[in-house]
Structure 1
Amino acid sequence: MRTSLDAEQVRRRLDRLSVVDEDRARRHPGAGSARQPVHTCYVPASAVDADVLRTWASTALDAFDEHLPDPAALGALLGMADPVAAAVHPRVREKLAGAPVEDLRIDFEDGYGSPGDEAEDADAERTAGIVAGWLRDGEQPLHFGLRVKSFDTPELRARSVRTLDVFLTALLRRWGSLPAGFVLTFPKVVDVAQVEVLVELLELFEQQLGLASGSLRFEIQVETTQSIVDGAGRLALPRFVEAGRRRVSGLHFGTYDYTASCGLTAAHQHLAHRSCDFARHVMQVSAAGTGIFLSDGSTNVLPVGDQVRHGWRNHYELVRRSLAHGFYQGWDLHPAQLVSRYAAAFAEFRESAPAQAERLAAYVGSGSGAVLDEPATARALATAFVRALDGGAIDAAEARELTTVDEAGLRALARL
């Protein structure tokens, strides 16, 4: 067949795009197979003891049983339809009665303060021993680690590094290796140089402690306007991620520091504010295709005392809003928030499951539907079921009945 263009001239031009392919593969390797926790609990280091996981679980379960004894009570409080409440209620209780804390951060920053070097050294060593005890007994959460102090001032920087040094040294002495699931949280980042210095320090830790290169990973907390737009008017987060040299595991939004940095008054500092939406959208496009987990922030409206029901309704609506915006993880500041956290996650899935299952069945050829989905959407549909399986919103038998796809097939589709 005759053509107009010289094949060699075409090849030379197309070959120039190989550098684009290589750069895209490096920057956007795609979602990994690791399971993302649905939340992160922040507990001040001074309040962390060997029983903190059991305390959070029992406090949440007691509140659930006291105020939400049956599906009707759950549905009435949170506005769920009867069939959804009937499916969600037992699953939430089962989750709370098991191991509801999926991610815990031992907080040495805002929630902890500055009690002095001697006290902070002691807490770093003591909490390392607690983590080693969890590991020994098989009680550790899916993820766990530290939030160290920010690099805002010379004093805070030095204290931040020392706390991490004391903790890691003590943990490795007691446990012998860096445990799977360990992660560091790096707060209030305002400049790419802070990320670069942290990475260099983590490399030093790995060399001195005999750890594998790249094993110390961290989350960046997005708590300042400078972490969204830098001084030159560029988006800051892509440069932060690049400077992290594949060590960045998550981007976590900080509600109150961020809204304060925007100049909002206390009455308007909440997760649903549009300024937060802008920051979250920047986080989303910066992390897309990288395998970096996104986490929404917290609400300080707690379900305690005579405000339990109000606190649950507020938290439930905010979690549902986060889920609708593609944020599948968020901060929890009080054990009772686990109730509304799982109620929201499970209800979101149960309400959408029939329609999503129909579309997924049609995509794999075992059903028919009025929507013609692309492979990327099929991947998203399968991922929703995988998240639900991992979190406890559905079991494998029900997932197969709905989608006609077994668990292995769903997980394979989600990884495409």
Structure 2
Amino acid sequence: MTDTEHTENDEDTTGTMYDVVVLGAGPVGENVADRTRAAGLSTAVVESELAGGECSYWACMPSKALLRPAIARADARRVPGLRHLVEGPLNAAEVLAHRDYEAADWKDDGQVAWLESIGAVFHRGHGRLAGPRRVVVDAPDGGRHVLTARHAVVVSTGSRAVLPDLPGLDEVRPWTSREATSAKQVPGRLIVVGGGVVAVEMATAWRALGSEVTVLVRGKGLLPRMEPFAGELVAEALTEAGADVRTGTSVTSVTRENGTVVALTDTGDRLEADEILFATGRAPRTDDIGLDTVGLEPGTWLSVDDSLRVTGSDWLYAVGDANHRALLTHQGKYQARIAGAAIAARAAGVPILESDPWGAHAATADHRAVPQVVFTDPEAASVGLSLAEAERAGHRVRAVDVEFSSVAGAGLYADGYRGRARMVVDLDREILRGVTFVGPAVGELIH
């Protein structure tokens, strides 16, 4: 049966048959569908929210739309002949309107049309596994559809924000990354809890838009997974921009009193704000997709082999955030291409991995050498291991540090350019174990 042949009888008994069923229509799921359709496999894509996923509506696109004006203004203020033209505040209404445009006003017509243009069948609704190779979709209109996969079911449901276990937190209606990137107005006062990427990017964006921002970090500094100087330089810049950055501070309770958020800390402080953002980690969105019906634990990260097939299964695959290899969109898309190729090869009876371990069917990219950029001012970019990580792994290494202010030409980019680079050199193998850059526009260098 082809992907366009639907009958009531099929749905009432074995379900509509496809070669591949993809759970999740974010950029990762879309890429899987693109590859399997290109290989001639009928493919259904199931999405409970918006086709295009987190990246299009609540992460990559809206966050960069919020951050770009902030960083462009900061850059202009460091260029002779321009700084006097950009001393005023950002036009928040224009920034938010452009953010809305880039997020397609949270409508997925274009993304659905693209899926249909490649020949995939889009099912809107909540999809759950119902045993091997079967997915039950509860549609928004109350209907139920049963999909059966000949060859593969692919989990690409992504991850979600984790909130701490604080009494009464639900009543406070805290922001997560989603609310932080989609808010319709600038809060007068914003508390940001956390020191990772989401925390520092959103602190940068909303401070530039006029919020009084307080950042509360439980640990010693910002960006704890990077070299210490990265967090230090970003913290200095946030402080200079008017944010209040407090390290070694945890929130012990939070309430909303007459519309005002009141947060108490373990240092004895009482803080008031209009909104509070918790950017305290991610968890897999696998808690309600029927993993228990195939012998897996709901709510867990899914372990996979290099063809992205779930450990112990010959038909279930997991790509992107769900397998916890690297929670980055570009890595998820890479995995999606590999998974699509592996599924197509297996469907055609082509043996893979054992005979072709370095070919197009194995995600063998080094998970420790994934480039990433934090779009703050200054930007922080890294690839590979930090010095501490390399030493913990037992490598004999040394750090080579360079102050960008001493590099010829840095002054051409910005007056008083401040930044730093570190290379972690393996003394035995004479290779780089890691590189970190911090400074304006260093995201353009990390590749």
| TM-score over 0.5 for the pair | no
Tell me which interval the TM-score lies in, with the shorter structure as reference length: under 0.3
> TM-score, normalising length from structure 2?
0.24
Answer 1 or 2: which has greater strand percent. 2
> TM-score, normalising length from structure 1?
0.25
